[in-house]
């Protein structure tokens, strides 16, 4: 896992190359909505892109993380089926439903059943390098989602320069990011992590929590501000020093969200001594995003070392899949 994290900026560069060189078979057309279907490490890129396009995309962008597609999916829907392995059973089933309903489908995968279905049905299928844990391939999948949206003119090409700048920033600050990740891991040691962010980085907050789940083998949760101020904040009456709050912050957080974060901190401080603010660096959405992704990936890795666990293994998920295969 350590080498995969080290290679993250190179992964982003390769992802841009894959996206820029892919030639779509499906012509441009108009859609009423876009649905990305995918789970886990293959679906989180969709959640992040959903945050990115929320203020600019003129049709709904929904992320589906289930076996079944929403009832509205039909001929006027673009469905992006994203499964790194190509064998995620929920995504395979959702893809089959999309075909039955005559939706336009684009696949993003490294192979497996998804690639087979794409070939059988003459679908666009962007192939990714295989053989890695899906959660270590966020750069590959997320960037391809953006290129799909670009092809169908839902977004402009600004993201390409943003990602190139993010790569330069990560490379320049590589040692600082790894050190900051190690320090965050030390602060999380022995604690239950609670990850909060502004709504524009809600997908990132989920990503951080998932990395701590899978790499560090710890439970925790994530939520976004302002939504959590209307419910979860009251739950802090049951808080304790067992919890460690991680606040993902951006210089571009909405001013009312910034105010809420400061007030929230004063509340958290009554119940826990561990409140860590992780501040994004960069001049664009994707510079800030990938800066925080890389820093917190390091945190999840170094927390696994502190806990004496293997960051790569996911035996419990393998067991689950094995049991499901018997049914």
Of residues 25, 120, 230, 270, which has the active-site annotation? 230
Q: Quick check: is 321 catalytic?
A: yes
The 10 Å CB-count burial string (b at 16+, else e) for 251-270 is eebeeebbebbeebeeebee
Which residues are bridge partners to 62 per DSSP?
Answer: 35
Q: Is 160 helix (H, G, I), strand (E, B) or coil?
A: helix
Would you call 230 a catalytic residue per the annotation?
yes
Q: Among residues 260, 264, 227, which one has the least CA distance to residue 245?
A: 264
* Residue 272 dihedral angles phi and psi, to the nearest 5°: -145, 145
Q: Are 288 and 173 in contact (CB under 8 A)?
A: no
**Annotation marks residue 217 as catalytic:** no
For 247, phi and psi rounded to 5 degrees?
-100, 115
**Rounded to an integer, what distance in angstroms lies between the CA atom of residue 302 and that of residue 312?**
12
The token pair at 221 is 């949760």
Query: C-alpha dihedral over 37, 38, 39, 40, to 10 degrees?
Result: -140
178, 200, 261: which is closest to 50 by C-alpha?
A: 200
Q: Measured between alpha carbons, how far is 77 from 105 in angstroms, rounded to an integer? A: 9
Annotated catalytic residue within 214, 217, 287, 288: 214
Q: Quick one: how far is CA 301 from the chain centroid?
A: 17
* Catalytic positions: 214, 230, 321
């Amino acid at each position: 896992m350590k080498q995969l994290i080290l290679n993250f900026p190179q992964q982003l560069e390769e992802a841009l190359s894959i996206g820029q060189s892919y030639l779509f078979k499906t012509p441009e057309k108009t859609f009423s909505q876009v649905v990305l279907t995918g789970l886990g490490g293959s679906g989180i890129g969709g959640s992040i892109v959903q945050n990115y396009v929320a203020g600019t995309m003129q049709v709904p962008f929904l992320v589906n993380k289930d076996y079944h597609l929403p009832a509205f999916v039909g001929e006027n829907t673009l469905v992006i089926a994203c499964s790194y392995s190509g064998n995620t059973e929920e995504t395979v089933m959702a893809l089959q439903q999309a075909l039955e309903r005559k939706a336009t489908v684009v696949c993003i995968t490294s192979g497996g059943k998804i690639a087979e279905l794409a070939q059988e049905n003459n679908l666009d299928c962007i192939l990714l390098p295989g053989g890695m844990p899906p959660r270590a391939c966020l750069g590959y999948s997320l960037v391809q989602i953006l290129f799909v949206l670009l092809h169908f003119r839902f977004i402009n090409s600004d993201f390409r320069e943003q990602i190139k700048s993010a790569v330069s920033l990560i490379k320049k600050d590589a040692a600082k990011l790894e050190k900051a990740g190690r320090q965050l891991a030390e602060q999380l040691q022995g604690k239950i992590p609670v990850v909060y962010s502004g709504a524009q980085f809600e997908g990132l907050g989920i990503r951080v929590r998932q990395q701590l789940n899978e790499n560090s083998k710890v439970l925790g949760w994530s939520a976004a501000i302002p939504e959590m101020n209307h419910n979860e904040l009251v739950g802090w009456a049951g808080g304790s020093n067992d919890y460690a709050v991680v606040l993902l912050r951006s210089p571009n957080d909405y001013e009312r969200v910034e105010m809420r974060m400061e007030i929230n901190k004063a509340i958290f401080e009554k119940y826990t001594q561990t409140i860590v603010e992780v501040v994004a660096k960069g001049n664009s959405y994707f510079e800030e995003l990938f800066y925080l992704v890389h820093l917190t990936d390091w945190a999840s890795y170094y927390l696994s070392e502190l806990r004496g666990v293997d960051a790569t293994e996911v035996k419990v998920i393998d067991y689950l899949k094995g049991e499901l295969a018997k049914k």
